[in-house]
Amino acid sequence: YFEVRFAPQLHAHGGMDMSEVLRAVNRGLSRATRRWNRRPEIVSQQEPEYTYAITVCALRYFDEKMSPYYADFIRVHPYSPRTQLYSMGSLELAQAAVAIRDHYGVPITGFDLAGRERGYPAEDHRPAYEFAHKNFMKKTVHAGEAYGPESIFQAITDLHADRIGHGYYLLSPKMVKAPSIVDKEGYVRRLAEYIADRRITVEVCLTSNLQTNPHLKDLGQHAFKDMRAMRLSTTLCTDNRLVSRTSVTREVTLAIEHFGLSSRELRQIIIYGFKRSFYPGSYTQKRSYVRRIIDFYTEVEKAHMPPGGFWGVKEDDKDI
């Protein structure tokens, strides 16, 4: 299973509108999925079938140079302040995503907000997320990547986020900026407890954070360790594959090497990623699919896991 996440606004132009962009991507994904699922291992049900969903990304900031679509969008709204334009752009994307999903059957299941955090708050995009929320779209938000816990607070309170992209600074009281927040450690603790209790999943991106965060010199210092200690719902993501030159397999390997994950911990992280996915089918279909994934994971683990786990430690010795 994989979720393709991108901003169709960056690909739309005079000869191809948002609908055509999303339908073209969907055709390619559908064709590749059908071909892959013809493999004997899948046809014989030795492996689970592959499927996919699409998440569209709104942008906190954009300008005329980013795409012909945005150049036209800005040109026809010459009297609107930029902050209002950013909000309008996100709402237009949300409306387009719902319409294209409903009319063409494109499996657009998620809505995301990406781009610069500092100076471009999530709350500006509340109308778009309200629309997505009321039209049963799942929601994720890039937050806590380059700004502190308040960015994550906005994502879950103003934007109804089901998942948080990065969340690197979630547990960083020193990154709390608002003068009105006097007890910074208490604020962070309550925020983290709420996220843990509501099972809001943090999409951890180790390689990307190491590349973009000047304060992170060693992956061993990454907040992922503390997130795991607090029993937060976490999963491992690439953020991107091209610029960061990584893959899910590499991210999993890094997590094992730098955080001493036991096989039970790794299983929990991987399976929870499937459970918190924006799966395109019904709830019962998703449960059935996740069950097949769990059973297949168990088979692979039995076939390939070294005795005693990764580090020769009995799994019962590590409480997760």
Residue with tokens 């064709």: 31
Distance from chain centroid for Cα 253: 19
Signed CA dihedral, 12, 143, 178, 131: sign only: positive
Q: At 40, which amino acid appears?
A: P
Query: Residue 164 forms beta bridges with which residues?
Result: 141, 202
Residues 70, 89 contacting (CB under 8 angstroms): yes
Q: Which of 3, 49, 123, 145 is catalytic?
A: 145
Going from the C-alpha of 288 to that of each of 137, 254, 282, 314, the distances in angstroms are 21, 30, 10, 31
137 DSSP 8-state letter: -
Sheet hosting strand 2-6, strand order edge to edge = 2-6, 52-59, 108-114, 138-143, 163-166, 201-204, 234-236
Contacts of 256 (CB under 8 A, 6+ apart): 266, 310
3 assigned to active site: no
Q: How far apart are the first and last CA of the chain?
A: 25
User: Among all residues, which ones are annotated catalytic?
Assistant: 145
